[in-house]
Amino acid sequence: MALLETRGLSKYFGGLSALNDLSMEVETGEIRGVIGPNGAGKTTLFNVISGVYKPSSGAVYFKNERISGISPSKIAARGAVRTFQRDALIHDFTVLRNVTVARHLHTGQTLLKTLFSNTVKLRRQDEEKAEEILEFVGLYDLRHELAANLAHGFQRVLGIAIALATEPELLMLDEPVAGMNPTETAHMTEVIGKLHKERGMTIMLVEHNMKTVMGICEKITVIDFGEKLSEGLPEEIRNDPKVIEAYLGAEEIVVER
Amino acid sequence: MWIKLLGIAAVAAVACAMPYIVELYQVEVLIILMFNLILAQSYRLVNTTGDWSLSHIVTMGVGAYSSALITKLLGWPFWLSLPVSGCVAGAIGFIIVFPLLRTVGFGFFIGSFALGEFVRLIWVKFHNPFGGPRGLINIPPAEIGPFDISDMIVYYYFCLGIAVISIWFMYRIDRSHIGDTFKAIHTDPTLCETIGIHVPAYRATAFIIGAFFAGIAGALMAHHQGAIDPHSFEATLMVYLIIFVVVGGVETFWGPILGVIVMTIVLELSRPMEEWRPLIAGVILIFFLVVMPGGLEILLPKGMAILRKVPAFDRLLPRGPA
């Protein structure tokens, strides 16, 4: 059974359709790439799934329950968590504190406990879990650094660590390697690969960087003008004439000029 | 560790000795200082989520009115009406903040002013039970069981105790996961939503806790003055509260405390020039906004750095960020 399913999803901004009757399924344990030219509706798709936008028509189902229309925090609580293209983190917190605050859904530190009992133990539990996550993504040594002082690549990795702290079942990554140098890209690719292989995390990945997508995704969905253009294995996508024309081909022509 | 305890002991000793150091009439100022400490600290708590409220003085008034009415009309004892008034202020705080959760920034600022005025005008318009523009008089003096604590010096110690407990609770919230959540909401509400934080619920929580402690301060004030009226909770006083937190700063927990103490001293020193006080306060506000927008709290790390230059202190002072 599919973990995530969109049925006839459409989203209009005024007269402009950003998504048009888009249906797709993501299976548990899958790592799915979503690609498409600029303005194809990839980020809109994430915004609709994560509850930032309500769909104009159609619906999103997660674990067989309809999640479209409920608030982003409730969708996150059900286990579908996204990251952002921008550096979404608390700049004046340390790296560790960024991750512990994201333990929100699992912390057990209520207002009454905060006021009347000793929360040192609960706090320590959150910190241990956060340290474990930071170890996993390779930021452990930087845990006492202010998030604002990290290099761009590390900040994006911290963004994933924050998302992981919520213990998601579906992780949606919005252009995780955008603006990164080759070293940072390699680090990020390794983290995503490890998440998939070692933790069996279901991942949806929106990305412009073809090499990354083709390298780590098992299955790819191509979107153009808000519609699903093609779907399949990386080799199939690479050889699909429609995709080449809409996306890869166009890019090659630009490069040749 | 023991240097910390030593510091706390020193502050406690000064706080306990104060009524005997100053003139008797200045004990009055000390009592008001206690109200203002609770008030400014609870205002900072609301502010940690990034919301600037203009109704905080009115929520204090809610506490004052409800404690006055509870003791006068229902005949409840003061020790019971004090926490109940805090809860009433919290409940009214919830009613005020609920429609405001859809607004942020400037909208919240103006919206809270409007709703606060709405509450205040209810006191003006309804003579029964609020006493209309002339307010309530003959509020019973504070007493706990058979003990009358309305004597100035005794009441100072009582308020000191309540202030310490209130500030201790607010300190615990500030340092907790919940406090971190408030600050995270200030920085990036969108991110907070995506990690499962119900942002409106947490903004409301901060506002309600702030209203609760403001209500406590209000109740303490009502029984001290014996009379309250709607003018005691006007926007002018809100401006003074804002001056406290601007002078002290709101980034650290200690900023508002610093601001209240410094401004109380400044206003007390300006007693001979009573009618110039609003002007002095205004000049101070503008000075801090222009020259030192972070408030006095930005001097704290600098002061620590200077102390650290003395080797004897360096060994004693705690490590890491203050």
Average pLDDT (B150-165) is 93
Candidate from A52, A76, A84 with C-beta closest to B196: A76
Average pLDDT (A234-247) is 82
Nearest C-alpha of chain B: how many angstroms from A111? 7
Structure ipTM = 0.88
Confidence of residue A253 (pLDDT cuts 50, 70, 90): very low
Candidate from A50, A88, A115 with C-beta closest to B188: A88
pLDDT of residue A255: 42
Structure tokens at B80: 């019971």
Identify the residue among B176, B188, B192, B195 best suited for mutation to test binding to A, counting A beta carbons within 10 A and taking the highest: B195
Omega prior to B129 cis, within 30 of 0 = yes
Q: Are A175 and A206 in contact (CB under 8 A)?
A: yes
pLDDT of residue A250: 54
Q: What is the pTM of this model?
A: 0.91
pLDDT of residue B316: 65
Residue A92 with chain B: CB contacts under 8 Å: 183, 187
Q: Are B206 and B51 in contact (CB under 8 A)?
A: yes
Return d(Cα B117, Cα B123) in angstroms, integer.
10
Q: Which residue of B has its CA nearest to A73?
A: B196
Candidate from A74, A92, A107 with C-beta closest to B187: A92
Return d(Cα B251, Cα A92) in angstroms, integer.
11
User: Distances in Å between the alpha carbon of A119 and those of A101, A103, A136, B110, B178?
Assistant: 14, 15, 26, 37, 12
Q: How far is CA B224 from the centre of its chain?
A: 17
Candidate from B183, B191, B196 with C-beta closest to A88: B191
Candidate from B187, B196, B205 with C-beta closest to A91: B187
Q: What one-character DSSP code corresponds to residue B233?
A: G
Nearest C-alpha of chain B: how many angstroms from A248? 32
Burial A34-65 (b: 16+ CB within 10 A, else e): bbbbeebbbbbbbbbbbbbbebeebebbbbee
Nearest C-alpha of chain A: how many angstroms from B210? 14
Strand partners, A174: A206
Confidence of residue B321 (pLDDT cuts 50, 70, 90): very low
Q: Number of Cβ pairs closer than 8 Å across A and B?
A: 91
Pairwise pLDDT comparison (A175 vs A253), residue with the higher score: A175
Q: pLDDT per residue over A29-77, tens digit each? A: 999 999 888 888 888 999 999 999 999 999 999 999 999 889 999 999 9
Identify the residue among A81, A101, A124 best suited for mutation to test binding to B, counting B beta carbons within 10 A and taking the highest: A101
Residue B188 with chain A: CB contacts under 8 Å: 88-90
Q: pLDDT per residue over B72-128, tens digit each? A: 999 999 999 999 999 999 999 999 999 999 999 999 999 999 999 999 999 999 988
Identify the residue among A43, A87, A114 best suited for mutation to test binding to B, counting B beta carbons within 10 A and taking the highest: A114
pLDDT of residue B272: 87
Residue B196 with chain A: CB contacts under 8 Å: 73-74, 76-77, 81, 104-105, 166
A111 to B177: CB separation less than 8 angstroms, yes or no? no
Q: At what angle do helices B235-248 and B277-291 cross, to 10 degrees?
A: 40
Neighbours of A225 (CB within 10 A): 15
Candidate from B194, B198, B199 with C-beta closest to A82: B194
